[in-house]
Amino acid sequence: MSHKGKSILYLAAAILLSLPVVSCRTTNNNTHTYRPYNERRNRGNSSTDDNGSTTKKADDKKKPIPQSGHGLVSDEWARLDIKLGRKDNKKLYMELKRWLGTPYVYAAHTCGEGTDCSGMVMEVYLEVYGIKVHRNSAKMLEQNCEPIELDDLKEGDLVFFITSSDGHVSHVGIYLKDNKFVHASSSRGVAVDDLRQNYYATHFHTAARVITKDDK
């Protein structure tokens, strides 16, 4: 190679070495967005790296969240034999415990004999809070409630689901705590389930709080 050629080669190498190093790492958008249960139910199986981005842990490939209560609802929760704190509404828990196991009967609302979802909610609210709510779950949401964010859910709030193909609210339950709620299941009667269970997470519509005349 000629002396002129070597000079050109050295000049090119010097130019390359002087260029800035560009990182392939993208910036992370940390803007908080509200996500319903069907998008956030696996939040416990993720971790956050140093940049705030979410990465799945190696155990994500374990068994999927079951559609029954197994694995998410312990025997204590299923019987409502859980330890209550000072702020827990003991009257609510005691009343719901009376309803556990009541068979599902459409259009019925009698503890121990038969009930549907809205019938149980109607009777429990009347007994515990002295509030009369609508007999129909869709009208209950429309006329007696104010939608709230999932993070604002408190004991006694209601959770609504769309389980029918017409896209209308068709199921309701009473929220307790730790993602657990009590409702009248068409297959198991009155039972405790977890909002993170696949079926309920997928069909979840909204959380809501019953409002009274004083709240308006």
Residue positions annotated with a catalytic role? 117, 171, 183
Q: Which backbone phi and psi does 83 adopt, to 5 degrees?
A: -80, 125
